[in-house]
Structure 1
Amino acid sequence: MKNQEEELPPDIKDWSKDQVKEWALKLDGVDDHIAEILFQQDINGPSLLLLEIEDFRGMGVTFGPAKLIKHARDEKVKFKKEEPTSSTNQPVCRKPYPFCRYHDTYRYMENSILDITESGASDLIEPCHEYKAFINTTDETKMSKFTAEVIRFAAACMNSRTNGTIHFGIGDTPDFIHGEVLGVAVGDKEAYAKELKSAIDSHFEHKHKQAAQICIKPPRFVEVLKKIMTSTDKCVIEVDIVPDSRSVKKTFTTL
């Protein structure tokens, strides 16, 4: 992110040429002089919505930045269409990432609200959810807190034969709105997967380790976007628990 975010009207069609320039200045991979080209060509919101790659090229914007601008515009339009009708002061509610999926084109918007409340065990099919803001953790304690919370949640799900997802970077009362998307700054994503696998080996009894490795899925990292569709450089970390009846036959205890 190159500049600090300024609030823009939610609809691109309401943007002035100055606001289009400000938006373009915040796009990663787009140089400042490209934003100036848009400004000099009097590109406002309505005209931005009409531009195709050939139009950008005709203004002197090279192919790479043109693709980035068009993609960012299209993503913002898509998110706007998916938003439920709400007042400007009311957070937007969104569905969680599809359960036990990894490759869907799905992102969260910062400060939106997941419309699934935290719940305890219900049945094997409908996932329960648990939210962790995952703030006030140091680099030294972040990984141990992550693995400890996943192991605790996973053991509860497996013992109750209930699907579940634990979310890190989602707020809860009283400090935040319940289900509020906050995001977490993640450095080495592979480290989370490795540490979780190691934690499973060290926390479950030997006879349960294989089943636990099957039931506890690898971490999923869901990108968090700002309202203007640029990255916050944060994500929500999610771990799905799937206690398949073929794997879960006994009560699980952790060491």
Structure 2
Amino acid sequence: MGISTTRPGAGIAEIVVDAPPVNALTVQGWYDLAGAVLAAGRDPDVRVVLLRAAGRGFNAGVDIKEMQSTPGHGALIGANRGCFAAFAAVYDCEVPVIAAVHGFCLGGGIGLVGNADIVVASDDAYFGLPEVDRGALGAATHLARLVPQHLMRAMVYTCRNVTAAELHHHGSVLEVVPRDALRDTALELAGNLAAKDPYVLRRAKESLNGIDPVDVHRSYRYEQGFTFELNLAGAGDRHRDAFLHDNKES
């Protein structure tokens, strides 16, 4: 369990998140994921990274239990910095990152997927930002890379989810396949990229980041400032405690 990296094919690094029950990552988990992605990208033998998860869903964001059980604000600050590091690692990875998404992709999962180069998903996948209902803000920067502007705003305010089929319609999910075909589909796509000239592929990633109209690092950091304000105002703890109270069985 945790974060593991394997080599399922020539030039492919497969990074798997396995943090039961819902792949909600601890502070250390976010940093571990960031380190794994960056290390894979720096490896000259790697031409593409496949990021996926085991278990019930892709990612449920931060570990709220850790945050609420840790005295002071250390876990909140750690989670914010850890998420920033992990999202940035996907974006800054020196090779293309393919995200293979199944089940739920919520909160921090949106940050990872929104910064990926290519997204494939299973037909049971759904995506959303429950942040407003948790007394926090963040990852609208990355959601805006997946859906049109007005839908992004509606999703932030209402905390509604969208399906993989909807994202395929918007062009942000490349393929939607049955869940049992997701990994094979992602590996086939990864193999296609891995067969290309590695120098050209790395320069392509660098050039695409260079022409991006939004600085995702600064934009996300700006959002995070409002999470700290909400916490200082008491809204963060109030909503996180309510969430844990309503989900004791988890």
TM-score range, shorter chain: under 0.3
Bigger fraction of residues in helix: 2
Report which of the two structures shows the higher radius of gyration computed on alpha carbons: 1
Q: TM-score, normalised by structure 2?
A: 0.26
